[in-house]
Structure 1
């Protein structure tokens, strides 16, 4: 299993990769720049190239998480321009670092009485970004954490958005366990149904990364509050086990975004490896 966590780039991209090795992680996620800003970063290409080479040598998978303001449903034209430019910058950094892609949030609807407007905007945004992108790194759309029926919470929506874009081959998916639990998509008891449905519609063929998070609240409440995997939330160990033990997911990175104050990520990765990995 490829367990990892979100890491800081305070010591650079190569520094983050070395930190992953130091804590025995097989994967890591990072913000390419300030997570609260959509500014364009003139990044250190030498550092990125060394990160790329180091990860290849160590067999580590990395993935970028886009800054929080960069959702696929920006609510005005000025913000749309900023999001397009920022995500292209993120993709460029991902490509340089050898990362598999850039996780991006679906976003909140502009008008809840007419969701079609927002779905159309998501597709326009994807097209505007990806028509300018020729690299290998992909945009990875993450499922939302809203209450049942909220926009961006179902596998069918994500697959449909990808299929309606002009560049589906440049789009993949990120499955967040806490988001799925919060939205009622995954109740902890219906993984077999989710897998069957996802396989039938082609979702899991395009799944690139799993955000592996417990939930501080029961399923279906729409509350996105992460908890540590073991004995800290409403998702039980045996429920997580059904996902982890799915044979087709053995090469997918499981990235922790859990509270480090509850359990340091180095310790949590150790526990995950002892439970479901090779125990090294």
Structure 2
């Protein structure tokens, strides 16, 4: 299991990979462009190629994340077109950097349609358009929602059903966020076996590519997306250790999105997670 964290690209894509290695990360996540904008970025392909080569040389896995405004379920045509162009741009950058894929949150419909299925249909339409002519290796990785601001995308059933309904499902995988899973109520820290069994039955685990590892500031079922440092939230280290060492998840790359200590880095927390996993394996 390769464990890492989110890093900045302020020093370029190669700089991000170097920053990850500097804190002993075996994986890292990055925003391929301004995280607060859907504007398409003209990126430095030489820098991206250098990032790819550096990661290959050091055995590092990278994954990109779409900007915050990205929403796959919108009915405003101008915003729809901006989002399609933005996500295609993210895929192109991720592919150039040699990244596993681009993480994007499951859609949140906030339009005026009264049909509860409209948001899902809009999302499927957008995914089809984004991926229609995509020929790169980078996948689009759908991330489960916590349920904050709407309950779309909290269940394995929704995630796998949307993937099955798009034209090119082979271009889509999944990203599992542990805080979101807990906050949604799908996982309560004690129902791991039942939860993973259901995920396996639905085919979710077969296409799961990366884990966002976060503790939660709020209880299971709160639908509040507030990350906490590992072992210092409502999930706790025992439940996190058990989840990470469960056979379906044990070989996946793990990305921390937890708070960074003032003036510090994720180095100590990465080491802590490695120790948690080692203790779990020893106990098994």
Normalised by the length of structure 2, the TM-score is 0.94
Change (3 A) 1:93 1:144: same
Matched with 1:213 is 214
Structure 2 residue runs without a partner (length 5+): 280-284
Change (3 A) 1:83 1:152: same
Matched with 1:167 is 168
- Classify the secondary structure of the residue corresponding to 2:4: strand
Matched with 2:45 is 45
Matched with 2:187 is 186
Contact 1:111-1:118 within 8 A present in 2 as well: no
- Shift, 1:46, TM fit: 0.3
- Shift, 1:71, TM fit: 1.5
Deviations 1:245-279 (A, max 9, x none): 1123232111000011388411100111222259x
Matched with 1:135 is 136
Contact 1:148-1:185 within 8 A present in 2 as well: no
- Shift, 1:132, TM fit: 2.1
- Classify the secondary structure of the residue corresponding to 1:64: strand
Contact 2:23-2:265 within 8 A present in 1 as well: no
Structure 1 residue runs without a partner (length 5+): none
- Structure 2 CA distance for aligned equivalents of residues 75 and 252 of structure 1: 35
Matched with 1:95 is 95
Deviations 1:54-88 (A, max 9, x none): 10111110000000111211240000000000000
- Shift, 1:148, TM fit: 11
Matched with 2:16 is 16
- Structure 2 CA distance for aligned equivalents of residues 105 and 247 of structure 1: 25
Question: 5 Å matches for 1:1-280?
Answer: 1-109=1-109, 110-111=111-112, 113-146=114-147, 150-230=151-231, 232-261=232-261, 264-277=265-278
Contact 2:108-2:150 within 8 A present in 1 as well: no
- Structure 1 CA distance for aligned equivalents of residues 206 and 60 of structure 2: 21
Contact 1:111-1:117 within 8 A present in 2 as well: no
- Structure 1 CA distance for aligned equivalents of residues 210 and 7 of structure 2: 15
- Structure 2 CA distance for aligned equivalents of residues 146 and 198 of structure 1: 18
- Structure 2 CA distance for aligned equivalents of residues 243 and 115 of structure 1: 33
- Classify the secondary structure of the residue corresponding to 2:255: strand
- Shift, 1:2, TM fit: 1.1
Aligned pair count reads 277
Normalised by the length of structure 1, the TM-score is 0.95
- Classify the secondary structure of the residue corresponding to 1:249: coil
- Structure 2 CA distance for aligned equivalents of residues 189 and 147 of structure 1: 22
Change (3 A) 1:191 1:51: same
Which runs of 4 or more aligned residues in structure 1 lie more than 6 Å from their structure 2 counterparts after TM superposition? none
